[in-house]
């Protein structure tokens, strides 16, 4: 039975090919065309399930050019979207394809499955009730420090992707911007050499300095610890800075969240300062 026309978002294995779900395998077997990051990578997956299907490149460098044609095809064909590994759209191109498909009245479906960020979170032994996925940090030191400062007050576990050569520098920058929080370096998830190393940011940065690990890497950083109660001066300083960028209500909400204070109390102080 052939698939109805539409867009099918298909999660693929991040390591062990046996992680491909039967649902995903059926979609890939029956799709009229598969939009891929790298046809060589997807060809290996298709060979694993014993099928051959037409593939077309869809990645950061050609997405704007080929997206209209893919949308046009979806009116009559089943188009599957895959990334090289994991769930498409998570730190990969794709959300514009979903947005434009919906705008064109195209049905959008998903075959849920592996995601490196979530898998690493389950391995890290850090709080899972609230987390924030950051993708890759900027490569340049200044931009990286700014990105870290932006999330420093967030009371949530942070999840990041990183490469081996950049790992130690990223850990050092996180240590400088967040303090010496508990963290985990998770690599090669579901592969033969899967490894999870835990420790403080400082200890992990030292461990990998001059010895970058190989493979796909996910960093998981614990939330900030319970801070001492903020003084009135701390609250005022945070509000004044926030109100240079935000309205009093939004500034109060951000500061209340960051400092663990009642929003109404902080809002009243913001109005006084304004």
109-157 pLDDT, tens digit per residue, is 999 999 999 999 999 999 999 999 999 999 999 999 999 999 988 999 9
- Asked if 191 contacts 16 with a C-beta cutoff of 8 angstroms, the reply is yes
* Tokens matching residue 152: 């420093």
pTM for the model = 0.79
pLDDT band for 227, please (50, 70, 90 cuts): very low
User: Collapsing DSSP states into helix, strand and coil, what is residue 80?
Assistant: strand
Which tokens sit at 9?
């978002």
- Cα–Cα distance, 200 to 225 (Å, whole number): 13
Is residue 196 classed as helix, strand or coil in its secondary structure?
strand
Calculate the alpha carbon distances from 143 to 137, 146, 172, 176 in Å. 8, 5, 14, 14
- Place 226 in a pLDDT band, splitting at 50, 70 and 90: low
Bridge partners, residue 131, by sequence: 157
How far, in Å, CA of 131 to CA of 89, rounded?
18
Q: What are 31-75's pLDDT values in tens digits?
A: 999 999 999 999 999 999 999 999 999 998 999 999 999 999 999
Residues 6+ apart with CB under 8 A from 272: none
- Give the long-range contacts of residues 126-130, CB within 8 A, separation 24 or more: 126/157, 126/182, 126/183, 126/184, 126/220, 126/221, 126/222, 126/223, 127/157, 127/222, 127/223, 128/157, 130/155, 130/156, 130/157, 130/223
Strand boundaries in the chain, DSSP class E: 6-10, 33-36, 55-57, 78-81, 108-111, 131-136, 157-162, 182-187, 195-200, 217-221
Per-residue model confidence (pLDDT) at position 135: 94
């Amino acid at each position: 039975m052939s698939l109805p026309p539409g867009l099918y978002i298909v999660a693929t294995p991040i390591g062990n090919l046996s992680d491909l779900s039967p649902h995903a395998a059926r979609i890939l077997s029956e799709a009229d065309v598969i939009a891929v990051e790298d046809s060589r990578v997807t060809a290996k997956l298709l060979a694993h399930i014993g099928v051959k299907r037409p593939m077309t490149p869809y990645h950061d460098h050609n997405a704007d050019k080929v997206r209209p044609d893919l949308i046009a095809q979806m009116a009559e064909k089943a188009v599957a979207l895959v990334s090289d590994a994991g769930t498409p759209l998570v730190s990969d191109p794709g959300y514009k394809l979903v947005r434009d498909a919906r705008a064109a009245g195209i049905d959008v479906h998903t075959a849920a499955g592996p995601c490196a960020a979530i898998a690493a979170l389950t391995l890290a032994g850090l709080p899972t009730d609230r987390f924030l996925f950051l993708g890759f940090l900027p490569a340049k030191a200044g931009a990286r420090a700014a990105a870290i400062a932006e999330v420093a007050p967030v009371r949530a576990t942070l999840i990041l992707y990183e490469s081996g050569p950049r790992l130690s520098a990223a850990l050092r920058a996180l240590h400088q911007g967040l303090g010496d929080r508990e963290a985990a370096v998770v690599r090669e998830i579901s592969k033969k050499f899967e490894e999870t190393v835990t420790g403080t940011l400082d200890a992990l940065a030292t461990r990998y300095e001059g010895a970058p690990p190989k493979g796909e890497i996910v960093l998981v950083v614990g939330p900030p610890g319970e801070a001492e109660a903020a003084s009135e001066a701390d609250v005022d300083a945070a509000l004044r800075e926030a109100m240079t960028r935000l309205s009093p209500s939004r500034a109060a909400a951000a500061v209340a969240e960051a400092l663990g204070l009642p929003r109404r109390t902080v809002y009243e102080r913001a109005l006084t300062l304004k």
